[in-house]
């Protein structure tokens, strides 16, 4: 019962805790590196940094130019900012990093690039003390999940709700093809199927309770 209410809390309160991309008004007001990062203007990024601009400057929501590049899916901007010394592991005010922003956006190329540029796959992010992998598993972003696993993301991190990536894929998933494949990827990579939630309910028990027969079969096969 407790887990059920936690699920409702997450689903109904997600808007209050979710990532918040820059608003149209914020984008219009951006100058300097934030504007260049959003627009993908690599020459401007290099010129501004050479003139002394701080590559980790923050907007009113704590977003660095690297966060803006991630929200805008501008790979070239992110590369230029990393070359200029931007902190790839910086957290904005809602505690998200470039990697988790890309994971939530289902942007596999940005995920791979962030990892390549030094964004740590085990960074604790979000108000739930989660990881990029937990966020991707929750949303059923299969390609992102595969890339994060290959990049060394911790499979069994437990967030402050008591959930692993595997539990989130079941509890917050819809039991459809994407979440089935997410569970398969996690299990085949070695995720611990016996870690339960705060009430001791395992991923298999959650899957069975929801009638997710294919997911339950994948877990049972391990």
Total residue length of the chain: 222
217 plus 144 within the same structural domain: yes
The answer to whether residues 135 and 185 belong to one domain is yes
pLDDT of residue 1: 40
Q: What is the pLDDT of residues 40-69, one digit of tens each?
A: 999 999 999 999 999 999 999 999 999 999
Strand partners, 125: 130
Structure confidence at residue 2 (pLDDT): 44
Report whether 70 contacts 101 (CB < 8 A). yes
What is the token pair recorded at 161? 């709700």
- Indicate if 128 and 179 belong to the same structural domain: yes
- Return per-residue pLDDT of the chain as tens, 222 residues: 444 434 444 443 343 357 899 999 999 999 999 999 999 999 999 999 999 999 999 999 999 999 999 999 999 999 999 999 999 999 999 999 999 999 999 999 999 999 999 999 999 999 999 999 999 999 999 999 999 999 999 999 999 999 999 999 999 999 999 999 999 999 999 999 999 999 999 999 999 999 999 999 999 998
Between CA 104 and CA 100 the distance in angstroms is 6
At residue 101, the pLDDT reads: 98
Q: What is the span of the domain harbouring residue 210?
A: 1-18+123-222
Contact (Cβ atoms closer than 8 angstroms) between residue 53 and residue 87: no
CA 204 to CA 151: how far, in whole Å? 26
Name the DSSP class of 190: T
* pLDDT score for 14: 45
Structurally, the chain folds into a number of domains equal to 2
CATH of the domain at 206: 1.25.40.20
Q: Which of 93, 112, 145 marks a domain boundary?
A: 93
pLDDT given at position 17 = 53
pLDDT for 19 equals 86
Beta carbons of 165 and 128 less than 8 angstroms apart: no
**Which residues make Cβ contacts (< 8 Å) with residue 30, sequence separation at least 6?**
22, 38, 59, 68
Does some domain include residue 104? no
The two structure tokens encoding residue 118:
């030094």
Residue 212 tokens read as 């997710």
User: CA 155 to CA 153: how far, in whole Å?
Assistant: 6
pTM of the predicted structure, to 2 decimals: 0.92
Q: Are residues 191 and 201 in the same domain?
A: yes
Give a yes or no: residue 116 inside a domain.
Answer: no
DSSP, res 74: -
Question: Is 89 in the same domain as 141?
Answer: no
Burial class (CB in 10 A: 0-12, 13-18, 19+), 79: middle
Task: Note whether residue 189 is domain-resident.
Answer: yes
CA 106, CA 192: separation in Å to the nearest integer?
Answer: 24
């Amino acid at each position: 019962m407790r887990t059920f209410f936690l699920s409702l809390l997450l689903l109904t309160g997600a808007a209050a805790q979710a990532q918040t991309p820059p608003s149209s008004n914020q984008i219009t007001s951006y100058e300097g590196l934030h504007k260049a990062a959003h627009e993908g203007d690599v020459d401007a990024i290099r010129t501004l940094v050479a003139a002394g601009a701080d590559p980790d400057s923050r907007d009113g929501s704590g977003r660095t130019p690297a966060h803006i590049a991630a929200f805008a899916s501008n790979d070239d901007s992110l590369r230029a900012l990393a070359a200029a010394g931007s902190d790839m592991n910086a957290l904005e005010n809602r505690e998200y990093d470039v990697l988790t922003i890309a994971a939530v956006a289902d942007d596999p190329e940005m995920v791979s690039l962030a990892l390549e540029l030094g964004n740590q796959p085990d960074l604790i992010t979000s108000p739930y003390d989660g990881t990029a992998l937990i966020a991707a598993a929750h949303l059923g972003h299969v390609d992102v999940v595969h890339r994060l696993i290959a990049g060394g993301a911790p499979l069994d991190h437990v967030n402050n709700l008591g959930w692993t990536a595997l539990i989130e894929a079941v509890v917050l998933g819809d039991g459809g093809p994407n979440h089935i494949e997410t569970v398969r990827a996690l299990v085949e990579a070695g995720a611990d199927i016996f870690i339960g939630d705060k009430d001791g309910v395992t991923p298999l028990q959650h899957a069975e309770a929801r009638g997710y027969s294919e997911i339950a079969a994948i877990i049972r096969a391990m």
